[in-house]
Chain A
Amino acid sequence: MTNKIDTNMVKHVAHLVRIGISEEEAQKFSPQFSSIIEYFKMLNEVDTENVPPASDITNNTNVLREDVAKPSMSREEFLKNAPQSERGYVKVPTVLGDE
Chain B
Amino acid sequence: MDKFTVYAAGIMAVLVFAILISSYIGHTKGKLEGTDDIVESIAISNSHVKPKEVLPAIPENLEPIGFTLAGIVGGFIVGYFWEELFGESKR
Same complex origin of A and B? no
